[in-house]
Amino acid sequence: MKKNDASRKALRIIGSILVAIALWIYVDTVTSPEVTLKVKNVPVEFSGEDTTLADRGLMLLSGYDTTVDLVIKGPRNELRKLDRSKIRIVANTSNIKEAGSQTLTYEVVFPDNIRRGKLTVDSASIYSITVTVGELDSKEVPIQCEIVGSVADGFMAGELTLDPEVLLLRGQRDDLLNVSYAKVRLDITGADKTVVQALEFELYDHNDVKIENSAIRSSEKLIGATMPVSTVKEVPLRVNFVEAVGATMETVDYTISPATVKLVGEKARLDEIDSIVLDTLYVQDLEDSQSLTYTIPVPEDVTIADGVDTATVTVVVRGVTERTLTVSRFTFENVPEGMTATAETESLNVRLRGLTAEVNALTAENVHIVADLSGLTGAGVHTVPVTIRIEGYENIGIKGSYQMVVDLSVTPDEPGQP
């Protein structure tokens, strides 16, 4: 009996807890009571400060660093979505037309994920912004960069570039007179690739003393610095040769001068380059001896060291000769059914190239001309391309292309056929 009472009591407790949770969820999500949230030190943004106000020759001398504490009121589930860091307070300076003390109202802007009108400002530490406005002067100063450290072994630092190269400052004339230059510091310690950074700057006077003056404004918040970091790689120069029958690399000697070049560039880019191809030469078209000069094609994003920009390829072909042979032996293939082919061309002068011994031993009996007539459909005189075939010799090739004239006629019926 006691066990049953204990079980019932436990069930009642669990049920009460579940009901309480359900009620809490209902109240929180459905009725969503309004609560407040304190947000401190929200910085004020001044719209039009660098445009409209500057165009009028005016600037903010004080009050530009004002912050506001807010108490925000709204439904609990809406406040839960609020990112405090994205709350903005914006004061408009476009109505300021003269120097002196000015009072500005402001607007509280909530993030886009907050439904319009759901949150309100219950209270604020201040309800207006007081600023002091003065006459604006401007001055351009050069930007110097202090390089810290050195690149990794085997690498070289290139020429630094800054963006921008000069800094436009705005402020009162007396403040700007003391400014001589702006300085940034770029750390390249151990760098093995190009260093690109956005750097904060400091202002210095004519005695190289750092200036701390928040009343001096700048057109830029950060200075872009780029330091190329490169290395050197030696790669061979190459020529691609295309072989053919009777025109193989066994008969070719060649040299390339210089044989290699040193490339300068980013390591990642150089790793992609194994050689530089000067040209593609067909062995069949090479002369016995020739010298070819090329402008070295420089791969993208790299340079060639030592000012080398041309290379010379010297080619010598040995043990090869050319010969013209008159050939009158014709063969027809794929003659259309019911047709007869007759060669109108009596002979062709065929240019041969190959090993000297084989070319000299070759006779017209070893060469015949083959015409494929599969593309012809009607009777008449046709000009067709031909293939030159050589029998008994493996190291002789044909130079050029050839064609012949063929008379295609209907084959007459044999006597006695219906």
The CATH code of the domain that includes 402 is: 2.170.120.30
CA distances to 162, 278, 290 from 294, rounded to whole Å, are 37, 7, 13
Q: Are 135 and 100 in contact (CB under 8 A)?
A: no
Give dist(CA 148, CA 274) in Å, integer.
34
**325 and 314 share a domain?**
no
Is 200 inside any structural domain? yes
Q: Are 78 and 119 in contact (CB under 8 A)?
A: yes
Is 361 inside any structural domain? yes
Is 52 inside any structural domain? no
CA distances to 239, 243, 251, 292, 393 from 285, rounded to whole Å, are 15, 10, 13, 14, 20
Determine the average pLDDT of the residues in 329-354.
93
Is 418 inside any structural domain? no
Confidence band, pLDDT 50/70/90 cuts, at residue 230: very high
**Strands, E, within 120-247: which ranges?**
120-124, 129-135, 137-148, 156-157, 161-163, 166-171, 181-187, 195-199, 202-204, 210-211, 217-218, 223-227, 229-242
Give dist(CA 342, CA 331) in Å, integer.
10
**159 and 117 share a domain?**
no
Domain stops at, among 288, 318, 348? 318
Confidence band, pLDDT 50/70/90 cuts, at residue 215: confident
Q: Are 218 and 167 in contact (CB under 8 A)?
A: yes
**106 and 192 share a domain?**
no
Q: Which two tokens stand for residue 361?
A: 């031993």
Is 256 inside any structural domain? yes
Is 416 inside any structural domain? no
Confidence band, pLDDT 50/70/90 cuts, at residue 3: low
- The predicted model scores a pTM of 0.58
Q: Find the domain containing 344 and state its range.
A: 321-410
Give the Cα-Cα-Cα angle 249, 255, 259 (nearest 5 degrees).
125
Strand partners, 399: 351
Q: Are 58 and 12 in contact (CB under 8 A)?
A: no
User: Is 266's pLDDT higher than 70?
Assistant: yes
Give the pLDDT score at 24.
53
Give the pLDDT score at 174.
87
pLDDT digits (tens, 9 = 90+) for 379-410: 999 999 999 999 989 889 898 999 999 999 99
**162 and 217 share a domain?**
yes
Phi, psi of 55 (to 5 degrees): -65, -25
Domain stops at, among 270, 290, 318? 318
pLDDT digits (tens, 9 = 90+) for 64-111: 899 999 999 999 888 888 899 999 999 999 999 998 999 999 999 999
Range of weakest confidence among 22-31, 218-227, 262-271: 22-31
Domain stops at, among 206, 227, 248? 227
Q: Which of 7-11, 59-63, 149-153 has the highest mean pLDDT?
A: 149-153
Q: Are 290 and 315 in contact (CB under 8 A)?
A: yes
Q: Are 199 and 220 in contact (CB under 8 A)?
A: no
Determine the average pLDDT of the residues in 26-37.
67
Give dist(CA 286, CA 399) in Å, integer.
11
**38 and 126 share a domain?**
yes
pLDDT digits (tens, 9 = 90+) for 287-309: 889 999 999 999 999 999 888 89
Task: Provide the CATH number for the domain around residue 241.
Answer: 2.170.120.40
Is 415 inside any structural domain? no
CA distances to 10, 11, 15, 16, 211 from 3, rounded to whole Å, are 11, 12, 18, 20, 83
**193 and 168 share a domain?**
yes
CA distances to 313, 343, 382, 388 from 403, rounded to whole Å, are 35, 11, 10, 10
Across the chain, mean pLDDT equals: 89
Domain count along the chain: 5
**222 and 240 share a domain?**
no
The residue behind tokens 């304190």 is 38
**12 and 42 share a domain?**
no
Q: Are 398 and 352 in contact (CB under 8 A)?
A: yes
Determine the average pLDDT of the residues in 335-340.
91
Give the pLDDT score at 29.
54
Is 417 inside any structural domain? no
User: Is 186's pLDDT higher than 90?
Assistant: yes
Helix (H) / strand (E) element for 276: namely strand 276-282
Phi, psi of 27 (to 5 degrees): -65, -40
Give dist(CA 74, CA 33) in Å, integer.
8
